[in-house]
Chains A and B, each alone.
Chain A
Amino acid sequence: MTAVTIPVALPSSRRWPWFGAFAFLFLITSQALAIITSPADRDMGDLQKIMYVHVPSAWITMLSFFVVLVYSVRYLWQRRENDDLLAASAAEVGATFNGLTLVLGMLWGRPTWGVWWTWDARLTSTLVLFLIFVGYLSLRAFIDEPVRRAQWSAAVGILGAINVPIVYLSVRWWRTLHQVQSSPSTVDPLYVLFLRANAFAFLFVMIYFIRQRYEAARIERDAELAAQAVALGGR
């Protein structure tokens, strides 16, 4: 018996490694600059510097969930498998940043508020968002049939995204403690500059992660399809 080899078309990614290197260099530079050069906060001292990771990762979480929504809608509209894989990749990256946001927020909240956790509107709705993401990813993990997995997770992704503002509104009515965002005009301009730089750095890292995850998912699917072709005696 001879081994059967089927060539799998790998996504061409000559430029993406360079993009990844750029994203991480940019992240390291803007983090270092933010930590070294920005002045310590009057009340919080150096603790304030956690803002340069916490706030961008919170923004990126919201953005990733929006990406899930867009690709889910496009999948149901055009039925292209790649859109489903991209939605799933964005969900994984979003869940990672969501978890990071929660942990960093706790690390900051403990010395500042004196507690690890409080049932405030933003914290609670971020946690609920995380649980919705986890549900989405579990659904994908429990279904093997690709078309079914794609259609179901698209529906769950869309419903979850629609629920985000309702969850936020309901929890805000319930209770509020989280400080409102500082207006850019009341803080040191360096804060604003570095916060924005780091937000862009996180954005680049997010794009790179989603792309990497998507390529891996694509290769997995192609391998499955190739195995099916062999099993069916196509070669």
Chain B
Amino acid sequence: MGRSADWGRIRAIAWKDLTAERRSKAGFYSVAALGITILVLFGFALGPDTRALRDAAVGALWLAVFFAGVLTFNRSYQVELDGGALDTLLLYGGGRWTIFTGKLLANLAFVMMMLVIVLIVGAVLFQVQVPAQWPTLLAVLALGVIGLVTLGTFYAAMASRSRAREVLLPLLLFPMMVPVLLAAIQASKALFGADLMQESGAWMRLLVAYDLVFLIITHLAFEYVIEV
């Protein structure tokens, strides 16, 4: 199998997942609605003081994306299992890591779209002003989502096929996400505050290192997880 064949497989799987989501629609809208609902609940829990809300906005936003994202990851395997399609998928030739990469890319697109919606609603609800360094902020958001989706897609391959998938995935995933949560929130907060201490750079390097380490390891370990 050459490199182009692997790439073809990855693209086919990612496209298949995204097409299924686009045609069913209900999945994406309900997950995005859940993200917004969590933001509203944070507003009730922390508000109505505008300053308190603005200070907590970044943390609330990330947690909303975390919680809504968890549903996405399990769904991504659940639709395969419901149709009995996973076994067929595994029978195809070529490296099985390509299944993981394909699902990873589809989930990435899915969560990014959700993030955009949650971000816009969050900025309105929590009265956040867009900082001058918004391109850097976008990079922080992208790096954080990559970390979340990488581990989420990996752990969901196990959790979705176990007895207690609703509780197991967050239980496995959230403690592992502590560095991403901290780095993404601290970097975002620094950028909102004009980053006078220049600390966002260090946090972004941590995010890049985390993403790289876990992208490599999950790709290596996926074979062991999916074969049984």
**Which residue numbers of A lie inside 8 Å of B, CB to CB?**
76, 128, 131-132, 134-136, 138-139, 142-143, 145, 147-148, 151-152, 154-156, 158-160, 162-163, 166-167, 169-171, 173-174
Contact = CB atoms under 8 A, between A and B. Distances in A.
- Give the top 10 A-B pairs by smallest Cβ distance, nearest first: A131-B175, A170-B179, A148-B228, A135-B172, A155-B221, A142-B164, A132-B175, A170-B182, A135-B171, A142-B162
B162 A139 contact: yes
A174 B187 CA distance: 11
A154 to B, nearest CB: 7
Interface string B164-185: 1001100110111011001100
A147 B227 CA distance: 10
A83 to B, nearest CB: 14
A contact patch SS: helix
A132 B172 CA distance: 7
A170 B203 CA distance: 8
A145 to B, nearest CB: 7
Given A139-B172, A156-B158, A163 B179 contact: yes
A159 B228 contact: no
Count chain B CB atoms within 10 A of each CB in A142, A145, A154, A171 and give the residue with the most.
A142
Nearest to A146: B228
Contacts of A159: 151, 154, 176, 214, 217-218, 221
Nearest to B170: A135
Contact of B228 (A128, A147, A160, A170): A147
Given A134-B171, A135-B172, A174 B182 contact: yes
A158 B221 contact: yes
Interface residues of B, number: 33
B80 to A, nearest CB: 17
Given A162-B213, A174-B182, A145 B228 contact: yes
B168 A138 contact: yes
B202 interface: yes
B contact patch SS: helix
Nearest to B186: A174
Contacts of A135: 168, 171-172, 175-176
A166 to B, nearest CB: 5
Nearest to A168: B179
B206 A151 contact: no
Nearest to B163: A142
A181 B225 CA distance: 40
A171 B176 contact: no
B28 interface: no
B67 interface: no
A142 B228 contact: no
B176 A152 contact: no
A145 B161 CA distance: 11
Contacts of A139: 158, 162, 168, 172
A162 B221 CA distance: 13
B175 A128 contact: yes
A9 B202 CA distance: 56
A76 B224 contact: yes
Interface string B208-228: 011001100110010011011
A167 B178 CA distance: 7
Given A128-B175, A152-B158, A162-B217, 13 more contacts: A128-B178, A135-B168, A138-B172, A143-B163, A151-B227, A155-B158, A159-B176, A159-B214, A160-B176, A166-B209, A166-B210, A166-B213, A170-B182
